[in-house]
Amino acid sequence: MIKLIRLSFMLLLISFSLPGRADILVLIHGYLGDAGSWERSGINTILDNHGWKRAGLFIGSPVGPQLLVHAQTSQARNQVYVVNLPSETPVPVQAGILAQMLDRIRQLHPHEPLILAGHSAGGVVARAALVLYPQKNVIALITIASPHLGTGRALQALNITENDGPFELVKDFIGGNDYQALRHSRALMHELLPVYPGSFLDWLNTRKHPDIKYISVVRTNPAGIPGDILVPGYSENMNNIPALQGKSSVIFTPSSHYLNYDDGFTLLNILKSIEKSKKKK
């Protein structure tokens, strides 16, 4: 899979040169996703076509984050990095790896502002990285359909994978790779349970958060009700986080939980808004 992602980026990365200082967007995939999620959905193509040029692909490794592909875009006005995280591991583990990647990106772009965008659990990971490892130069966090207050689906996953009883072979046959992934993700599922006193999200959501821009992209169903099949609407809205009440902008998008082509245009509009707010300062 990593080889395919790397090949995809090698084919798609475009050298680009324009005068001026760059803004850096970092894209963080969700549970069971990978860096290629942003390519397969068409989001990276939309961003690239509108001036946000592919800059590089980071992957976590035992020796630290590795920059597998790096485009010669040092003079591009806006640049995009994607990261590949071990999405079945606990949130703090992923957050620590992401923090190392952000450090590397900051070394490559010491004076440029960073904007983070995370999908689903990737939004929680990005937020945890900001809380656990305070970041310099990060000016905004965008989350898309992220379970900031947890999801009942995590409880269902724990119930399904609770034991290795006599029906285990049936579970393996029915669930296949997805079931095995759930079994390996039980620690993560515990962290994504609906908030309760003493839970990981209860702890995270009451910690001090950096004073940056927060934008919540909340899915809506065909009836216009916030939420999707995996995450309830109130959980996708960062204003419902005790530490961030009233601090997040909210954008409602009529879509399923998963990344799609239209998310590229949603991100573009958000990025334009961030740029306008920077000019006003």
pLDDT cut 90: percent of the chain above it: 72
119 or 15: which carries more pLDDT confidence? 119
Residue 180: predicted pLDDT: 83
Residue 11 has pLDDT above 90, yes or no: no
Contact 209, 127 (CB under 8 A): yes
Options 3.40.50.1820, 3.40.630.10, 3.30.1490.20, 2.102.10.10; CATH for 2-151+197-280 is 3.40.50.1820
Q: What is the DSSP string of 175-242?
A: HHHHHHHHHHTHHHHHHTSPP-TTSHHHHHTTS---SSEEEEEEEE-TTS-BB-SSSBHHHH-GGGSG
Range from 3-7, 71-75, 119-123 carrying the lowest mean pLDDT: 3-7
Q: Looking at residues 60-89, what average pLDDT do you find?
A: 83
Per-residue pLDDT tens over the stretch 210-223: 999 999 999 999 99
Main-chain dihedrals φ then ψ at residue 227, nearest 5 degrees: 115, 165
Domain parsing of the chain, residue ranges: 2-151+197-280, 152-191
Per-residue pLDDT tens over the stretch 181-202: 888 899 999 999 999 999 999 9
Per-residue pLDDT band for 76 (boundaries 50, 70, 90) equals low
Its pTM surpasses 0.75: yes
Q: What does pLDDT average to over the chain?
A: 88
Q: Looking at residues 139-157, what average pLDDT do you find?
A: 96
